[in-house]
Structure 1
Amino acid sequence: MQSASYDLFLSYQSEDSAQAEHLYQRLQSAGFKVWFDRARLQAGFNWHAEIEEGVEASRIVLPILTPRWKNSEWTKFETYGAEVVIPLLCEGDWDDVATPPLKRWQNISIDAADPDPADWKKLLAAIRDHLRRPAPIKSERMAFLRYTVNPHFVGREREMNRIHEALHAEPTAALSQGKIHAIVAMGGIGKTTLARHYAERFWRLYTQIFWVDAREEESLRSGYAGIAKLLFPERENGTDEEKLAQRALVELNGSTERLLVLDNVEDEESIQRWIPKSGGCRTLITSRFTAWSPGIGTSRVYVLDPGPARELLLRRTGRYGREAQSESCDRLAETLGYLPLALEQAAAYVAEEGPDFGFEDYLELYREATQDCLAEGVLGSTEYPDSVVTTWKATLAKLSPQARTLLRFSSFLSPEPIPIELFIKNVERVRAHFSEFPLPAGSKPAKESSSDNFMIRNALKDLTRYAMVDNTGQSFLVHSLVQMVERLNAAGDRRSVWLGHLLEMVNAYGPVNAHYPITWDIWDGLRPHAEFLLNLIPEELKAETALSLNEELAKWYYGKGLYNKSLVWEGLKLELAKRLLPENDPRMGSYLINYGESLLRVRGRAEEAAEIFLKAVKIEENASGPESPSVADNLNYYAMALKDSGQEEKAENVYRRALAIYDKTSFPDSERLARVLTNLSSRLLDRGDCQGAEPLIKRAVDLLESGKISASFPYIHHMLAQLGIIYYETGRNAAAEPLLKRALEFCAGTLGPEHPEMVFPLETYAEFLGSEAAVDAAMEVYQRTLKVVEKNSGKESYTYARILNNIGLLLQSHNRLDEAEKPLIESLEIRRRVCGDDSAEFMRVMGNLGELYREMGRLDDAHQYLDPAVQYWDRADVEIKFEAGRLFHKLARLYRYEAKSKETEEMFRKALKILDQRPEHEWTREARREWYEISGEKPD
């Protein structure tokens, strides 16, 4: 740290460093001692502290004013508290580049890089004139300040600038009372510390500085009487404090530039008669009260940012230079919600415990004994003895029962914006708790309002008035430590009652079917609170209301495409249901279905999912009979899992049974019917039966077009895209494209352009464009698809590998063979890592690469990939699937290319034995056509 004094301090924005460098060199040559950061700051220096000391040690500050200068908080901070400022107007207009506090100084227009000789002479003369004058002495100017400066003060430069600019702004009609500004915040934020540092930072600007404790009328009167004694020590002051106080107030209304700090003000009414109304006195107020009249400006102060919070902990404990400590330091700061009082309290405890007790140790202690830790007081630089637990007690005593009730309920919610409608829609449950809190001293019961909205908002106003919440109009925020302390106050039997009622409130406020986008306006804001509450409630207190809330959370995650999270909540719900419900309860079937669907989607464990779905089918059959529509619902999921596990023929039969049940129902649920129709159509399409698939999917789309399906139904894009696929598979491309585009638009408009459900319509549209020979357009759509997959699942996912494989096949089909190789190899390597090199997924791409190398004439490479793939399907422990016939066909082509007639015939017959199971499939028709060219054999 520096100890020398300087004549000049150069203040500039980093973009103007060249001009500053020129000016520095010239001023040095003129014989001045100049503080210039480029010359001063070195690696390892604490630049915050260095700059503060540099400004403090310099007689004159020279701001290099350009349109960029006031964009920095630090350049303003450097100049505002200086003894003398000579603004150098280097670029732009004075009114545009100067801030209000700078306009009290006479500026000099000058080119810093190449000054005009007359301008340079004028600047030197001004500098020398000021340096000849005696420097101000701090002790002579600071008449009375109550506290010492906190050596660990960090992170409030922006706030100090804002306060200073407000106190020195040009007068307006709204500020006719004089220059008055209030620092407002809840307890523990550091309002008093900030005011003390403002006085320390800007002492040179005020001839006198006075500090008054404004908590009570007696302390105000005593404080002003003290000011009178300081101002008029030669007078006979007597003992009448009121007269002395009034004498001080008259003097403070005079023209002398002074700073008056009124600390810990209760509210505006309590200090109205004590505020200087005119003259040169600037009045700075600290208070938890926020509802000030327009004549008093306010600066709302919040918790520290993460960086300054870390700095405070490290400074206070002296634990610099220890990386592990720094990481746990950040975790501790986050745990304490970056509240300065809590940070000071924790740091003092860590420091007192000795060098072997670190932040991680305190975190462990905090987890074990939160209440004890928050109850620890620490005497800081402002002599503030209260702990976190006790610091808000005085504020709580001023709150109405209505406000206390809202605060108590809010303490069991997440430290995220809380929707006000949650309380308005559950007002009767809220009212039931008003009687648990006393009226504030001296107040009367609030008049009963006929408007629930008005009553809840009035209670919030009470909380906002004392900075306990931040109210935006539609939601409000409560600090996490305020919530923690309030939760600690709610111990005992009543806690479970509050939790139970809040659970009912959240469940009632959240709409059903949270996977539907139409519900997301509410669920997006409610979701963190529902999660927090469910995690807070002990398992033994959870009831069926918790099951419902759990279910909606799982649905919300599923609808958002966050399938891993959905699976977690489905698993938690199922475990809770097993504890609360009989095994054969029909609701168990529903919970099994939801869990199985997430398991299938996230883990791809089709066989396990099929067992779960079958169990759900049996539960529903026992409860409702085998022909119940709810049985058909569960059969649909069972068939999905069967299809994904390779049991395609069995899946088709199950789909047909589900459809038959719906067709026997007088008024089937249109959305569930549409899903079965779509899934069965997809199954028929997979086996090449477009003729059978088309009427099914058309029937589903007709349900949409006739209005029997809600426009928010999240399955619509599947229906539209599937009909589009059938059209282009059967050569009706002109009819296909509008449907595929409509599917894309629906999915993007309903779920969002980056939702994982976008993959299906994007992929389908890309395949269509490829079939139209619009390869470049198809590639653009595939690249868009990759971005969606990367955002949601990452590059190391099966889906990402599948898209890369499809890109390779597209390029290959249009004879862009060299370009096709890279995406196929990338796909293969991802599948090796994700699925393993002994999986059907891996072997599928092996076969595709082998076919590509055959077309490229690289026959050895073709065998290197095709032979292992064929050997995989030849193994006795691998169930033969239809795709194996396609792979055998590819190897038969290679043998034919090599003129190996015996091997060609053997492999063709092997391929056709499998492919002929689906005679209408394009793979089968293609293989039959080639075999006919070789053998002359026509299919049976």
Structure 2
Amino acid sequence: MDLPFINALSDRRMLLNLVRQGVVRFPDVEEKPEARLHVVSIVMTCMSHPGGLRALRSALDTMAPDSDGTRQAHRLIQSATLAALIPDGERDRVKPLLQRHWTTFVAAAGGMQAPTNGDLVGRFEALTQEPLPEFGLPAALAFVEEIAALAPSARSTPLSDWVDQQAERLELTLELQKHRSHESPGGLRPPGSDTPETEQITKNKDIVSENGLGWGREISATWVDAEVIDDHDNLPPGPEHQREQDEEERGHQGDEMPSLTSAAPREVESLPQVWGNVPPRNPNFTGRVDLLEALHEQFSTERETAVLPESLHGMGGVGKSQVAIEYIHKHRSEYDLIWWIPAEHKSQILSALTELAQRLGLDLSREAISAVPAVREALSTAETPYANWFLVFDNAESLSDVRPFFPTGGHGKILVTSRNAEWAAVTRTLEVDVFSRPESTAFLRKRTPELALADADRLAEALGDLPLAVEQAAAWRVATGMPVDQYLELLNEKRIELLELGTSPDYEVSVAAAWNVSLDKLEEVNGAALQLLQVCSFFAPEPISRDLFAGSPSAQITETLDETLRDPIKLARAIRDIQRYALAKFDHRAGTLQMHRLVQAVLVSRMTSDHEQIMRHGSHALLANGDVNKPSVPDSWPRYQALLPHLTVSGAVGSADPRVQQFVFNMVKFLYYWGDHDGCLSLATKVHEERKKDRGEDNEHTLSVAKWRAWILWVLGHFREAADINRRCLELSESTVGAADEGTLDSMTRVALDLRTAGDATAALELDRRAFERCAREFGEDDPATLNAAMHLGMCLKFNGAFNEALRLDSDTYRRSVAVLGENTDDTLRVLNYLTIGQREAGDYLGAHKRQEAVYQTFINVYGMENPAVTRAARNLAVARRRAGDHDGALALSSDTLRRFSNRYGDNYPETMAAALDLAIDLRHSADLPGALKLGAETLDRYVKVFGERHPHTLAARANLAIVMRLMGEPDAAHASNAGTLKVLDETLGLEHPIAIVCAINLGSDLAAQGKAREAYERDIDSLDRCRRVFAENHPSTLACSLNLAIDLGRLDRIAEADKIHADTLDRYRRVLGGKHPATLNALQSVRADCDIDPSPL
């Protein structure tokens, strides 16, 4: 595009700013040194983001409406094909769905004549190459939509969802709705209803009919609910069998469509409605008949108690997981939901259950901290339509780590596989032993039918009947055809070598000998393949993404292996040779390589110390190569989830490589954002200790890690330990880089947070003010560091009760943030949320409520409902609703907010306790005094436990609780509580802090309830004087105190004074809050006003 402004970087940035104004959450675009490359990146990003093309057209029209380049861009956009406008990955994602549905059509058709042009994928691809129509839905989307319409709802959902997502991406949602609602009942449309849109719909339906889907409609009524056609008995053994088996298990997701002419009616067996992460069935599975029957009998036994798991126990290599896989595939039609959960590491369990929660639609968030409790609760209480569920916890070694994730009720089943015999104490256990001799010989002869029974017996004897070793020997025979005598001779030689070296406790000598034979052969035919295995031996025995290997430019390991990693052909050959000798399994569909832990142990035992160090470093380098460097972005989380077990096992935390160290640090951040706070703290602690050793305590990277460690300690409630680390970081920064360094100033704001947490409001304010002033002086008022310091100062001002100053500062910070950072960035939205708190506490209840309703909706649009930022905005809105008089709306939202905070952070988290305090107030306003008393007392106890007796939030909770006590007929107890609270407030914050003023106002009501009219009057006179100094004349708290004073005067028979003050106060209430506000109505009836205290965020 020949645009007049593309050469200037500033103009290209302006183009991006204009685009961002029209798009929510538009991603960053990397700036290119070459102008045209930069423009291409902008255009490609617009194409891949919902609303991007429209925003690009609008931006071009704004900047250069008469430019030839703008007109050319319009023409290019209008002539674009669907293939050009949606990512390749999206097209690839729908192909298996089309294949799966076509396979089921064929099965359902039985003997009917199938059309010859049934290659749905090929036709779909052809349609994606057609230009988009001027009106209506693109033909390719209409094509997929029609296929979805032919299937029952359970099967059509993935296809319909895909169409919905692409329509949203292309801004065609309205066109899709018109397409779906076009035909009236009976297929008739009123005369004269044809429009360009309806003509395109008719054209699309003609395209569908031309492609054979009319035949699909004929059989849709007899649709067989199946995705997998299972008939393995007549298939030959070996790799071809495996490939066909794999295709069937995944609903034919391979590259080739099945031949329609050869598709004969076969036995159809349905998968569960929800089927996740289950490994493919092993076509060479042999024996275990008694074990499978015993397991089925245990699962079939009716139990009235809570879910009692079954477990398969045995040593490594006996095939526990294989038995579980075979059982699942054998009985899959008996369950609604089957989910496979790798359970060796807690992070793997969190990942699997989070994915299940998404699949069930229980939680919009991909964060484990909220999704995992939701799925566990749903399964325990039968809150899903899949009551008959089956969960497998594979390789579950730690009882304490795994058992908390078990559903406690419902009608499901749990199966555990483990090497840990302790599971026998809490489950019904079946022991998985080595093969019986007949099973060993049967397995060997199934793979190599020409093998004599006597020779099979000799091999089994030499291998100790260990299934994993027997499988490896069988693969060797298939790959090499070596005579049994020669193979046994090699085994014996290797056994003698190993005995001379000493045996490993992890495996039998005969097993190691079998693998060493194959490893020697692999080294002979492909040395790079052996080195790849050696690197992988330091990973966890979990799937390893092929992406870690492919084209690893920064992974320098050995010259031979580096060359293979850079060459896709050589890498493919290495993986094939590894599979050939059954040394690891490669899943072509998932693109992952997986090794058994016993093979890894044998590999490590063969290495010298120097070689081991090289290969371990290689594993670290490959892991770092897989880091996408976006730990906070949900789309990156699956990658970090997959890498986490390998990071842990490989010892990458101790690597001295800066790239590896950055990767490890990113993993710390990911665990926090993902919601595994305990895992985050554990890893952050290890990383911090390692960095202190290898980089030094005052190193910049070490200090960054230390601050993250302190933050997660704070989140988990370890406030003193967090404060110690932050204080030490500040000392180190000041002594090394100086007081004006950005890192030092960041540490100052963190120490200020610790001071607020400890209740020292004055010291916190002094430190935050110094940090802000120093940032403004050193970096300027518009620098992001200064804006961050300003936000923290605004929070601290509110904590100190300086709401008007906080409002002025927050307003200025928000204005600058919008200009510098953008309107919907994280920091800008945080400031906006805090701004409405200041607006509310400064007395503008109605204005704050109106603004916060809009802010809350913006947060939802930007983040989605389950993000913690949305929950914080919801808490603010709940308070704003109550202050504006919407008590029912406040109660509903504060109840939900407390639930969300509690589920995510626990009951002792500061925001959770604040939300509980808010809900107690809302219960009181809703006349549920017993509920308010109970929750208020519980929350006060937590505040005392977490923050201590004298913290401002504890004192606020005590003052709020005293109101309920008085309203429930205990004025003496309320007076004693408020008097004690006010005394502590005088000693800590001072009597003119808003919390103290509110407490004093309520204390006046306590005196009035005790019948002490004169003392109540004197207290209210003093409080009103303080209100007018601290608050505005029309602040609702000032009006509340004025109303109470008027009532005091009436009780003292000073009627004229009472009437005058009451009339003036009532008039102000009407002007400030409106005539229908509950506070105004109470004032009209001369009902004393109580003042609430909502804790400011720390």
8 Å Cα contact 2:623-2:660 kept in structure 1: no
Instruction: Give 1:194's aligned residue.
Output: 286
Q: 2:613 aligns with which of 496, 504, 524?
A: 496
1:765 match: 877
Choose 895-904 or 727-736, whichever is displaced more.
727-736
Of residues 835, 839, 851, the one that matches 2:963 is 851
- Indicate the larger mover: 816-825 or 757-766: 816-825
Tell me, yes or no, if structure 1 residue 619 matches structure 2 residue 732: yes
1:675 aligns with 788
How far apart are 1:763 and its partner, in Å? 0.7
1:527 is aligned to 2:644: yes
Shift in alpha-carbon separation, 1:562–1:680, aligned structure 2, 3 A:
farther
Shift of 1:609: 4.0
Q: Distance in 2 between matches of 1:678 and 1:332?
A: 63
Q: 1:775, 1:343 → 2: CA distance?
A: 74
Partners in 1 of 2:637 and 2:423 — Cα distance?
45
The structural deviation recorded for 1:734 is 5.7
What is the match of residue 560 of structure 2? 434
The correspondence for 1:649, drawn from 759, 762, 768, is 762
Aligned match of 1:724: 836
Which one has the largest radius of gyration? 1
CA distance in 2, matches of 1:734, 1:533: 56
Amino acid at match of 1:791: N
2:815 maps to 702
Helix, strand or coil: the match of 2:592?
Answer: strand
**Aligned runs of 1:76-225 on 2, under 5 Å?**
194=286
Residue of 867, 887, 901 corresponding to 2:976: 867
Kindly indicate whether the alpha-carbon contact (under 8 Å) linking 1:798 and 1:830 is maintained by their aligned counterparts in 2. no
Q: Which residue of 1 aligns with 2:892?
A: 780
- Cross-structure match for 2:905: 793
Letter aligned with residue 194 of structure 1: T
The aligned residue for residue 929 of structure 1 is 1042
Indicate the residue corresponding to 1:576 in structure 2.
690
Alpha-carbon distance between aligned partners in 2 of 1:932 and 1:742, rounded to the nearest angstrom: 37
1:639 matched to 2:731: no
Mapped contact 1:801–1:831 kept (Cα < 8 A)? yes
Aligned match of 2:866: 754
- Relative distance call for 1:329 and 1:636 in structure 2 (3 A) is farther
Aligned mates of 2:636, 2:227 — CA distance in 1: 50
Letter in 1 for 2:689: E
Quick check: 1:422 aligned with 2:552? no
* Aligned counterparts of 2:517 and 2:427: Cα–Cα separation in 1: 28
Higher relative contact order (CA 8 A, sep 6+): 2
Query: Does the 8 A contact of 1:786 with 1:800 survive in 2?
Result: yes
Q: Is 2:712 the partner of 1:598?
A: yes
Deviations 1:449-496 (A, max 9, x none): 897555545544554566623335664141442444444444522112
Structure 1: how far apart are the matches of 2:227 and 2:552? 52
Alpha-carbon shift at residue 680 of structure 1 (Å)? 1.5
C-alpha separation in 2, matches of 1:416 and 1:737: 52
Letter in structure 2 aligned against 1:859: G
Partner residue in 2 for 1:372: 505
TM-score, normalised with respect to structure 1: 0.54
**Superposition pairs for residues 63-74 of structure 1, below 5 Å?**
none
Q: Distance in 2 between matches of 1:639 and 1:375?
A: 59
* Matched residue, 1:896: 1008
C-alpha spacing 1:669/1:529, structure 2 compared with 1 (3 Å):
farther
Alpha-carbon RMSD across the aligned residues, in angstroms, is: 5.8
**2-structure distance, mates of 1:386, 1:466:** 14
Report deviation, 1:851. Answer: 0.4
Q: What one-letter code is carried by the residue in structure 2 that aligns with 1:572? A: K
From the superposition, tell whether residues 888 and 726 of structure 1 become closer, same or farther in structure 2 (CA, over 3 Å): closer
TM-score by length of 2: 0.47
1:705 to 1:331, Cα distance in 2 relative to 1, 3 A: farther
Q: Is the 8 A contact 2:761 2:799 kept in 1?
A: no
Distance 1:411 1:100, change over 3 A: closer
* Aligned equivalents of 1:512, 1:844: Cα separation in 2: 43
Quick one: distance in 2 between partners of 1:583 and 1:315? 43
Task: Give unpaired runs (5+ residues) of structure 1.
Answer: 1-66, 68-91, 105-157, 164-169, 180-187, 202-300, 334-338, 349-368, 378-384, 437-447
Task: Map 1:287-366 onto structure 2 (within 5 A).
Answer: 323-324=424-425, 345=466
Q: Does 1:478 align with 2:594?
A: yes
**Superposed CA offset, 1:705-738 (max 9, x none):** 3353596x54443222123334445537467645
Q: Say whether 1:559 aligns with 2:660.
A: no
Q: What SS is found at the alignment partner of 2:915? A: helix
Alignment of 1:277-288 (within 5 A): none
Preserved contact between residue 940 and residue 958 of structure 2 (Cα < 8 Å) = yes
Is 1:630 the counterpart of 2:756? The answer is: no
Which of 592, 611, 623 is the matching residue for 1:506?
Answer: 623
Correspondence list, 1:375-390, <5 A: 375=508, 377=510
Report the 3-state secondary structure (helix = DSSP H, G, I; strand = E; otherwise coil) of the residue aligned with 1:929. Answer: helix
User: Which residue of 521, 524, 537 maps to 1:411?
Assistant: 537
Pick closer, same or farther for the CA change 1:558–1:910 going to 2, 3 Å: farther
Q: 2:881 aligns to what SS in structure 1?
A: helix
State the Cα distance separating 1:575 from its structure 2 match: 1.8
Q: In percent, how many aligned pairs have the same letter?
A: 16
| Alignment check: 8 A CA contact 2:972 2:1010 kept | no
Separation (CA, whole Å) in 1 of partners of 2:431 and 2:781: 56
CA–CA distance in structure 1, aligned partners of residues 793 and 910 of structure 2:
24
> Residue 87 of structure 2 corresponds to which residue in structure 1?
none
Q: 1:835: Cα distance to partner? A: 6.8
CA contact (8 A) 1:723 1:739 kept: no
Task: Give the Cα separation in 1 of the matches to 2:565 and 2:713.
Answer: 50
Residues 677 and 699 in structure 1, CA contact (< 8 A), matched pair in contact too:
no
The answer (yes or no) to whether the contact 1:422–1:505 under 8 Å persists in 2 is yes
Aligned to 1:754, the other structure's residue is in SS state coil
Structure 2 CA distance for partners of 1:309 and 1:773, relative to 1, 3 Å: closer
Q: 1:469 aligns with which of 585, 590, 593?
A: 585
SS at match of 1:599: helix
Q: Displacement of 1:527 after TM fit?
A: 3.5
Q: In structure 1, how many angstroms separate the alpha carbons of the residues matched to 2:818 and 2:529?
A: 50
Aligned length: 625
Q: Which runs of 5+ in 2 are unaligned?
A: 1-151, 153-220, 234-244, 251-257, 268-279, 294-339, 344-390, 397-412, 435-439, 444-459, 470-501, 1050-1056, 1062-1098
- C-alpha separation in 1, matches of 2:931 and 2:260: 70
